[in-house]
Structure formats: structure tokens, C-alpha cells
Chains A and B, each alone.
Chain A
Amino acid sequence: MFPIQSMRAALMVAAVGSVLAAMPARADDYPSRTVEAIHQFGPGGGTDRFIRAIGDPFQTITGQTLVPISVQGGGGVPAAVTFMQRPSDGYNLMAVGPEQVINHVLGRMNIDELQPIARIQYDQGLFLVSKDSPFKSVEDLIKTAREKPGSLKVAVTGTAGFDDALVGLWNLKSGAELTTVPFSASEMVSNTLGGHVDLMYEEYGPARGLIESGDLRPLVLFSEFRLPVLGDVPTAAELGFDVTLGRWRGFAMHASDDEANANAMFSILDQAAASQSYKTIEKESGLQFRSKILGPKQFKEFMQHEVEIYTDILKQLGYVD
């Protein structure tokens, strides 16, 4: 019952550990002031929490703070515009994810103006139905969807965004065509539980409580391998449909930023992501399964690969020609 003291002790342990680890990385005094990370989601949302979670060890390592700046709405375009207007001095980061790739493909921003630094999180999602749903397994779902294409409604979050692309890819690969209906994250769950929609798409972390209570039944997982915690839920790949897209989160700088700063930033983020405090949060959010940190070069390749995938999907869905 001495939270303050225990926190102080934990901080000291973390500080000592990270100072030891940080030594070789800090070439000069970069960063010597607050670093800001622009993102397109609301304060307290998944990305905001991600930046704060990394910001905690970031501060222990560098002595500087990492602050999330939320520029909400507009499908992420205003956030990108705001980021581009900021100076390329190494103190402005952008939190990136599939939304930036999709906006790039839709011609609403140019990700070549970004210098990828680190991909830190890589999530995996599921199709879920309410416990009262007639669909007991993914086979039931596929059968009905193939008989009456488009009649089943899947609740998703966001509009013409990642969820739409994933369902679109599922439709193309499986021929079990589903219609997406966009909701806010909380209404998506309430409409699924209330039986107003047939199923929903959600990442494992946020859905975990309702899966464990039995209110939501997971049917199929989108990842390369099954989750150890959901051993009996098949992956789409096992069914023969190559759908492994996942939501990922990372950081980028301006393409014109100094490469030395980018490398220094990666090394800090690498240590921050390996810290005990971040690992705990990663685990509590159900993100520990696929998240493997990627450095600037690998991350760039990963993003280029994502651009190809999303261009393909969005073309077939008719969003771009």
C-alpha cells in the first residue's frame, strides 16, 4: 500500500537499467528537448495510449518527454497536413499505421515524404459474433455468405479505412462476401451484442473481456499463426484464404530529416519498446503475439509491401482505378 514509494523504486531500477543500455546509442545530445508525435486519433485512444506507453520509458532513457499531439478526424489527412507543415528538425514525429498507407494509395498524402523509423506494434484481428448468433463456426459463416453474397453485415470501425480493406480482402480471397457497416468502436460492440448486425471485426485486445465472458464468439483469426490464448480459433490462412493483414503502429520522421537523428531515434525507441514498463502494457493490450520491432530499413520495406497490398485491394474494391 505504498504506491508512491514503489513507483519511485521501479523508476530507479528502470533508470539505472536504461542508462546502462542507452550509453552507446547517444552520439551527441539529441534529443535535447521535447519530442512531439502527431497522430490522428482522439486523446486516450489506442494510438494516444501507445505513444504515452512508449513515452514513459522514452523519458527514463533520454530525460526528455515524448508528447502525443492529437489532430483528429478527416480520415487522418489533417494530421498528415499538420505534420508536413512542421519543421524537419528531428523533434517532430508522426505516428503511422495502415491509415497512412491507405491515404497514400487514395492520393490524399504521399508517404514518400516520410522517413520510417520504427514499427513497434503489430496487432491481429478477428471476426466475432454474439453468443446468440446462429454461426457456430467460420464454416457456417462462409456457407451462408456464399449462398447469399453481401446479405451478411459486418460491423467495422472507420470509413474506407483499414477495416474496410481487410473485409474487402476477405471477400476477394474467400468469395464469402460480407457487407461492411461503419460504427464507432463502442456502437460496433453494442450492435453486435444486440443482434443488429451479424458479426464484427475487432483486434484481440479490446475484445478480450467479452470473449472471456463468452458474450462474443471468435470465428476466425487474421494472422500467420493461431493465438496461444485462442487455441481453437482457426486462422484464415488455414482455411486457404491468405488474409493476414493487421493493424500496426510505428513512428516516422520527415524524409528530409537528418539520418543520424533517425538512427539515434530508432535506437531510443528500440530500448523503450524493450523496457519492462512498455512490455507490461503491450501484454495487457494483447499485442505481444506479432509485435516485432522493425528498424528504419526493414520498416521502409514493410511499408512498401503494404502499399502494394492496399493498392491491389482498393483497386479491386473500386476505390482507386
Chain B
Amino acid sequence: MLDSYLSALGYMASNPFTFLLIIFSVVWGIAFGSIPGLTGIVGVALLIPFTFAFDPIEGLLLLGGVYVGSTFGGSISAILFNTPGSPEAACTALDGYPMARKGQAGKALGIALAASAIGGIFGTVVLMVAAPPLARLALEFGPPEYFALAVLGITAIASIGNGSVLKALMAGLLGLGVATIGLDPLTGMPRFTFGSMMLLTGVGFVPAIIGIFALAEVLQRFGEGPQKGYVIDDVSTELPTIGEFIQTRITLLRSSVIGTVIGALPGVGATTAAFIAYSEASRWSRHPEKFGTGVPEGIAAPESANNAAVGGSMIPLLALGIPGSATTAVMIGGLTIHGIIPGPQLMQTNSDLVYSVFIGMMLANLLMLLVGVRMARYFALVLKAPYALVGPAIVVLCMTGVYALQNNVVDLAVMLVFGVVGFAMRRFGFPVASFIIGLVLGPIAELSLRQGLMLSDYDVTAFVTRPIAGTLLLFSAASLVYGLVGQFLRARRKLNGDTGPDTSEEAKA
């Protein structure tokens, strides 16, 4: 194995061009990630024709760097403008933007950047040392396991946010409901499309989050009128100190593991990983009620998870030839054109390629730290402009981006509608996080439940008798019961007039 690394390093050292490619690709990736509507997938797809002119190794390094950069890039606009530049970063906006509004934009960006790099490096290390066994583990995940995973994430709906549980549940159910619009995933019949041919695509995740975050924010800010003290002009990105780093180490580690594993599962990727990591971070936190108000863990969890998922999704790609995410699926297309057949033999027959990619992704993650600090600073300059100019510009950018994504006019309507929905939700204290989690995990839960039932000939016990699925479901149930009991105890103590710290139950967790 060491030989392979040395030979790959030798190849890269003799081709300084490869390093230029990595630098270019990370910058390109961050730029694509940070602009709403231009996702990492588009960034990769656009570069594929250029890779024809390169060696396969150079081509794959280019695509891998874009993938790494774009996964972080989305968080810049999510933190600064509440406008997630890519779906992976939607979760980062939940705590990143509130922190920025508190005047700590630089700190929020720093946490996102450091967490991204840590998660990315973690995912890459796992990819380097354990790709084949982890790919085999991913094969153990059938529909029941996907269902259990989605349920685990959905149960967090009730515990997120500091408002009422009832409102959180209502928002979550609304998200689950909206996710059913479009073609039925198993029978192909239209559901809740009201005869619209264009609505058959369903409510797209990107248009919905752009509406609910970005547009709602613009509406909110214009509703408030010009206000002093709201101006974020702290444009310097500060990486977290060692002390802060140690404080979030458990969150970082847990989220990186979650991200790598979920990334390695085919069909679910960085977005799901970010939300499940966020759910778990709030579940295990001593102060879950503070999530959504700008806590460091709320940024560190999704950012480390979504970048760890990048390495994770390369696992089945390189070990089995199965793409772990939409972006890696595009990469497979690029490889095929070079005459490289992705499959289990890739690591033997093209070891130079595989090991160069390992090294390249490692470099890309380190470079991201350097480039990210710079690029975030330029982005933050926009904040110096008055919001009366920035706000409309954000709306125009979002509308262009949302339309460009799928060339579907209905997506624009969806964005506008969800802008109003998001505005109303905030106005009346419904947590946006619950709604988005329902929207992301609902389709996975529905599809895998129905697939699993078809496979087991409608025997429900198949979901609890399988070890992985059973454990995950048991854990979800236990966590719900624990949460309910905790709430009951809190409510009773309040009745008894006890004003002591009401987080003591969580402290034990």
C-alpha cells in the first residue's frame, strides 16, 4: 500500500500541473457551492468535457476538488445571507445565520471552515484505510435500514427549537406532507399536483429551502425596516481557538462518523448526513433548546458531516463502482469516457488513479482552509453595502439560480410560496428546522418503507428483526420516550415552583 502511495505521489510530483488543477478546482467548487442554484453537481458536470483533454487522474483530481470545495462553499452564503448556496448547506443556515446576526459572522465562518476541513479529512482518511470493508458494510443497508435511519432523524423534530413541541411537530408534519407532492415514487401516479403537468416533479428541495431561508429573510428584513446594530461588518474569518475546538470535539467526531457512514450509503448523501448530524447534535446536547439561536455545535455538526460525506460517497464509487451520491454518479460518467470501468477491480487495475485521488482529496481539504478564509472575506465585503441594495440582489440571484437548476418555472412559484411560508413560520414561532427535516427525510422514509414492505411481502416484523434496522428503531423509540418523560418532569417542576436549572436531565445524557 505504501508503494502505491509513493508511486502516486511520484506521479503527482512529476506533474506539477496536477497541483494547479487542485487549486483551481477548490476555488471553482467554493464559488459554485456559494451561489444558489449552482450546485456542486452542476460544477462537476460542467467540467467533465474539459477532463477529456486531461489524463484520467488529472480529470478525477479536478472533479474531486470541485466536490470538496462546493460542499463547503454553500455555507458561506448560508451564514452571511441566510441563503444556502447548495442543499448540503441548508442545515448550516439554521445556526450559522443567527450567529452572524449576533455580530459573529467571522466566528461562524471560521467554525464552518474548520469543521468542514476536519470532517473532510476524517472522511478521506476513512476512505484511504477502510474503503473495501466499509463498502461491504454499506451493502448491509437495505430498505428497512434506510427507513430506520430516516425515522431516527425525524424523531429529532420534536426536540429541536426552543418553542412549543406542538408547533415543532406541526412544522415537521407539514414538511412530511409537502414531500408527498409529485409523482408517487412506486406507482408513478400523480399526487396533489392539481392537474399541473409541471408540478409532477414535486416540490424541489432547493427551491423550497431558498424560499424558506433566503426569501423569507429578505421579507423579514424589509418588514423590520432599517435598523441599527444589525449590521454585520465583522468580515475577518477567525478559525476557532484550541479551547473552542476541544469544546466541540465530541460533536465533530460524532458528526464526522455519521457523515462518512451516510455518505457511503448509495442514494443518500451530504444533505441527509448534515441533517442527521444536526439532529443528533441537538439530541445529545446539554442545551438542545439553544439550537437555532446560533450555537457553535449547530454549525460544526452539519459542516463536518457534509464534508465527511464527500469522502464517504467516494467509498462505494472506488470500491464497488457504485456512486454514493449524485455528484459521484456524474464522476462515474466522466471516468467511463476515459475508458476506465468503475468496479471492484478499479483499486487493483488503476491503483495510481485511486491513490492519487486519495492524496488529491487530502490536499483539497487543506487548501480549502487557506482558500476558504480568503474567499469568505471577499464575500463578506458585500455586507458593507446597505441591505436595501443587497436584499433585492439576493432575490434576483435566487430566482435566477432556482430557475437555472431545473429549467422548470414551477420551481420559481415554489420558491415564492415557500418564501411566504417561511416568513409566516418565523412570525408565528414555528421552527423552520423541523419543517426542513420533514422535507428532506420524508421521501427517504416513505420510499424505503414501501420498498421494504414489498420485499418482505408486507410483513412488518421484517423492519424490527433485522439487527441494524431494529437497533436504530429501538433507539429512536427510546429517545422519544426519554424526551417525553423529560418534558413531563420539567412541566411538573414548573408547577411546583422550582426555578432551578431546567436542563439537569439532559446534563446526564
Contacts and interface: CB of A to CB of B under 8 A. Distances in A.
Nearest to A182: B186
Interface string B339-350: 101111110000
B288 interface: no
A82 B202 CA distance: 16
A43 B334 CA distance: 12
B53 A73 contact: no
Contact of B337 (A1, A49, A183, A196): A49
Contacts of B141: 190, 194
A42 B339 contact: no
A82 B410 CA distance: 11
A281 B337 contact: yes
A69 B182 CA distance: 21
Interface string B128-165: 00000000001111110000000000000000000000
Contacts of A70: 406-407
A320 to B, nearest CB: 12
Interface string B387-428: 000000000000000000011101000000000000000000
A304 B341 CA distance: 35
Contacts of A48: 45, 333
A77 interface: yes
Contacts of B140: 194
B342 to A, nearest CB: 5
Nearest to A43: B45
A52 B197 contact: no
- Bin chain B's interface residue count: 35 or more
A82 B407 contact: yes
A212 B407 contact: no
A186 B329 contact: yes
B266 interface: yes
Interface in A52-74: 52-53, 56, 69-74
Interface string A1-22: 1011001000000000000000
B15 A44 contact: no
Contacts of B53: 3-4, 7
A81 interface: yes
A240 interface: no
A77 B202 CA distance: 12
Interface stretch (A87-95, A153-161, A169-177): A153-161
Contact of A209 (B139, B185, B200, B345): B345
Contact of B455 (A49, A185, A197, A205): A197
B408 A78 contact: yes
Contacts of B341: 208-209, 212
B48 interface: yes
A149 interface: no
Interface string A193-217: 1101100000001001110110100
A213 B41 contact: no
Contact of B197 (A42, A77, A280): A77
- Bin chain A's interface residue count: 35 or more
A44 B266 contact: no
B454 interface: yes
Given A49-B333, A70-B407, A213 B200 contact: no
Contacts of A3: 53-55, 58
B143 A191 contact: yes
A316 B206 CA distance: 39
A45 B333 contact: yes
A78 B45 contact: no
B455 A81 contact: no
A73 B455 contact: no
A212 B343 contact: yes
A44 B344 contact: no
B451 interface: yes
Given A7-B53, A208-B343, A73 B48 contact: no
A189 B200 contact: no
A227 interface: no
A92 to B, nearest CB: 12
Contacts of A38: 407
Given A73-B201, A181-B451, A193 B320 contact: yes
A284 interface: yes
Contacts of B407: 38, 69-71, 82
Contact of A151 (B183, B197, B457): B457
A138 to B, nearest CB: 22
Nearest to A4: B53
Contacts of A81: 197-198
B345 A212 contact: yes
Nearest to A42: B326
A179 B458 CA distance: 13
Contact of B336 (A1, A184, A190, A285): A285
Contacts of B455: 153, 181, 196-197
Contact of B344 (A108, A185, A215): A215
B408 A82 contact: yes
- Residue among A7, A56, A70, A196 having the largest count of chain B Cβ atoms under 10 Å: A196
A250 to B, nearest CB: 19
Nearest to B455: A153
B103 interface: no
A44 B41 contact: yes
A182 B323 contact: no
B58 A43 contact: no
B60 interface: no
B480 interface: no
Nearest to B324: A186
10 contacts: A3-B58, A42-B41, A49-B48, A49-B337, A75-B183, A189-B320, A190-B138, A196-B455, A212-B345, A284-B336
Given A186-B323, A190-B267, 18 more contacts: A43-B41, A44-B330, A49-B337, A69-B407, A74-B182, A74-B198, A75-B183, A77-B200, A159-B183, A186-B324, A189-B266, A190-B265, A190-B320, A193-B139, A208-B341, A209-B342, A210-B344, A284-B336
Interface of B: 15, 41-42, 44-45, 48-49, 52-55, 58, 138-143, 182-188, 197-202, 265-267, 316, 320-324, 326, 329-330, 333-334, 336-339, 341-346, 406-408, 410, 451, 454-455, 457
Interface of A: 1, 3-4, 7, 38, 42-46, 48-49, 52-53, 56, 69-75, 77-78, 81-82, 108, 151, 153, 159-161, 179, 181-187, 189-191, 193-194, 196-197, 205, 208-210, 212-213, 215, 280-281, 284-285
